[in-house]
Structure 1
């Protein structure tokens, strides 16, 4: 994008990056900074799969498909968060929770019993996501004016 600065909403980008539903797609309009959302569940409406075709025709020129967080990144985040937990009992419960299939659900279930740690997890995860999104913007050479409203 050169020296132009694009105003983008970091919260919108982070939300899109964290959306794990494969039927949803997000694109960044590099002319306006708007994050566009499309879903398989919205047929016949704005944001439905019919509208995505015209966007996909301009991917690379005007639009950039937004990446998603990978399960590997999410798992690594849980592991690294567990290392920051001071309560040894909770640390053990979380370590057991992330072992095997259903790790994400069990991790959240354990944290739901510890509201303070749950809030700390949200902050930890949000910071990690924001760093990844900022790195992605840099990799795409998008000079941005971040709107953190």
Structure 2
């Protein structure tokens, strides 16, 4: 098992959140902890095409469902005490295009909440990354639980 301090938790979190098409993928070497980026055109070294199936020694970091990331926006909106911001951001989450509308509304009308949102979103993403690492047996469950206990959701204004 790897030591959690030797892994790039932020990069793993980014890979878990990556909702782009299947032309690229993120993988991790469970022995070294190295994270690699694969594309269908240039493999993992940027030059040599290689099939994902041929990279058996690496673990695919499959993106989590958009509904998980959507839930973070809902929890953020429900957690802030500014009724005006909560109402507007909550309405932005209704229907298709919620991710874009939420971001547009936040950046345009509530710049004072941008840093708070980023801290909230990033903390949740890193917690998911650490749990994913434990689920893959890359880090111990004890190390993951210690991280999760130390990295709670930030307080919301």
Flag whether TM exceeds 0.5 (same fold).
yes
Deviation at 1:57, TM superposition (A): 2.2
Deviation at 1:80, TM superposition (A): 0.4
Deviation at 1:5, TM superposition (A): 2.6
Output the aligned Cα RMSD.
2.3
Query: Does the aligned pair in 1 maintain the 2:92–2:101 contact within 8 Å?
Result: yes
Structure 1 or 2: more strand by fraction: 1
Match of 1:112, SS state, is helix
- Once structures 1 and 2 are overlaid, which stretch shifts more, 94-103 or 66-75? 66-75
What TM-score does the superposition give when structure 2 sets the normalisation length? Answer: 0.77
What TM-score does the superposition give when structure 1 sets the normalisation length? Answer: 0.81
Cross-structure match for 1:135: 131
Deviation at 1:116, TM superposition (A): 2.1
Choose between structure 1 and 2 for higher RCO, CA contacts under 8 A separated by at least 6 residues: 1
Matched, 1:115 2:114: no
In 2, Cα distance between equivalents of 1:128 and 1:87: 21
Query: Among 50, 61, 68, which residue is 2:63 paired with?
Result: 68
Query: Among 74, 78, 81, which residue is 1:83 paired with?
Result: 78
Matched, 1:15 2:14: yes
Gaps of 5+ in 1: none
Cα pair distance change 1:49/1:121, threshold 3 Å: farther
Cross-structure match for 1:92: 87
Query: Does the aligned pair in 2 maintain the 1:112–1:118 contact within 8 Å?
Result: yes
In 1, Cα distance between equivalents of 2:48 and 2:18: 17
Query: Does the aligned pair in 2 maintain the 1:26–1:38 contact within 8 Å?
Result: yes
Deviation at 1:44, TM superposition (A): 4.8
Matched, 1:5 2:8: no
Deviation at 1:106, TM superposition (A): 0.3
Cross-structure match for 1:27: 27
Match of 2:7, SS state, is strand
Query: Does the aligned pair in 1 maintain the 2:2–2:33 contact within 8 Å?
Result: no
Gaps of 5+ in 2: 145-157
